[in-house]
Amino acid sequence: MVRRVVVTGVGLVSAVGIGTEETWKNALAGKSGAAPITHFDTTGFPVTFAAEVKGFDPLQYVEKKELKKMGLFIQFALAASQFAMEQARLKVTPDIAERTGVYIGSGIGGFDVIEREHTALMQGGPRRISPFFIPASIVNLASGFVSIRWGAKGPNSATCTACSSSAHAVGDSFKLIQRCDAEVMICGGAEGAITPMGVGGFAAMRALSTRNDAPEKASRPFDRDRDGFVIGEGAGILILEELGFAVRRGAPILAEVVGYGMSGDAFHITQPDENADGAVRAMRITLADAGILPEQVQYINAHGTSTQYNDRLETLAIKKVFGEHAKKVAISSTKSMTGHLLGGAGGLEAGLAVLALRDQMLPPTINYENPDPDCDLDYVPNQARKAEVEYILSNSFGFGGTNAALLVKRYVE
């Protein structure tokens, strides 16, 4: 018998809220987190706005002496893990420590630390480089710091698969529990790449919206006038548990994870497969893993980046997978509000999908004003919607043609 895996905690840090319930409340309200950049001087940059986490005080989650050892993405991961652990009412006691793992993805890691230490090198030579430079910036140290914080001694890993990173981390954690390698996984993703090199690099690719005069209107997934994504930051962490373990300890059960699929496009370094083949296979594998039909899915939290290629091809992929049912599936991109968290996106969006199941509410796609003939499905435009949903699919597609999809289900005893 396949072991059942449930979600008992969700921790979110985003441009629309620090904390799970604040993020969720503002997502349902359709609040945009995009605003002029404050992290650095944007003079001379073609893009001057982003979806920054506002008012974040790391000292609420990290001891002052520890801050110099960690990049911003690690700080976000620690904060989100605290919110998730509190919601799950979970304590990692010695008897379960070796059965509790951590798996946190990031697409870029500590860009802020890399840039800072490079400046120190250029200005003062190699002796000015901090001894904490490497551990503060490498991707797996989000998992490392979180495991140390909570005493989790089970499987410890990290993914770096571009914008699919944290969806892969959640999916892999689901499978670790299914195959008896862990009872509990603290999993998801984090990103803190709103830096001169981060913004400058994506702008050089022409991947970012240049709507500098109206940042709050810039992220407009599936809209005809979309012109690129809005870079975001933050973290999304989920607590996954084997069902029996969660029930025995009286944990709050928010949803059940029932499917996971991954695929590769083998097509282009940044553009999706022109036939959407990779996205199609990831979704079909996920549905097959759960043993359900496409007609049983009521809502999709789309990858929906607000770029021309992604939105058109994700729509095509959904039509191929769901056929006539595609017209009946509600779809929204919460990136329209949170911005695109890159490697942290899948964790944040999986968390929002769980909350949508909990409250039977679908967050909107804001800034959807001008329909695109190639994007002609139900994108829950501009207003949240009450709906009866049992299954939710969450998509994440990354540079290099790396795709992931997760399926969560309303929990029934």
Amino acid in the structure at residue 249: R
Q: Could you state, in order of their start, the residue ranges of all structural domains in the chain? A: 1-400
Does 292 score more than 90 pLDDT? yes
187 is catalytic: no
Annotated active-site residue in 160, 168, 187, 340: 340
pLDDT of residue 189: 98
C-alpha torsion sign, points 324, 327, 328, 332: positive
Annotated active-site residue in 163, 168, 187, 375: 163
**What does pLDDT average to over the chain?**
98
Token readout for 221 is: 């997934």
Tell me the pLDDT band of 234, cut-offs 50, 70 and 90. very high
Name the DSSP class of 378.
Answer: B
Q: Which of 166, 105, 398, 106 is nearest to 265 (CA)?
A: 398
Tell me the pLDDT band of 413, cut-offs 50, 70 and 90. confident
Name the DSSP class of 240.
Answer: E
What are the pLDDT digits (tens) for 253-278?
A: 999 999 999 999 999 999 988 999 99
Token readout for 261 is: 């699929």
| The CATH number fitting domain 1-400, selected from 3.40.47.10, 3.20.20.70, 3.40.190.10, 3.30.420.40 | 3.40.47.10
Q: Compute the average pLDDT of residues 305-313.
A: 97
Q: Compute the average pLDDT of residues 26-34.
A: 98
Would you say 70 and 82 are in contact if contact means Cβ atoms under 8 Å apart? Answer: no
Tell me the pLDDT band of 1, cut-offs 50, 70 and 90. confident
268 is catalytic: no
pTM value is 0.98
| Torsions phi, psi for 173 (to 5 deg) | -65, -40
What are the pLDDT digits (tens) for 168-201?
A: 999 999 999 999 999 999 999 999 999 999 999 9
pLDDT of residue 331: 98
Annotated active-site residue in 160, 168, 187, 303: 303
Does 26 score more than 90 pLDDT? yes
Token readout for 17 is: 């809220």
180 is catalytic: no
CA angle 9–190–209, rounded 5-degree value: 120
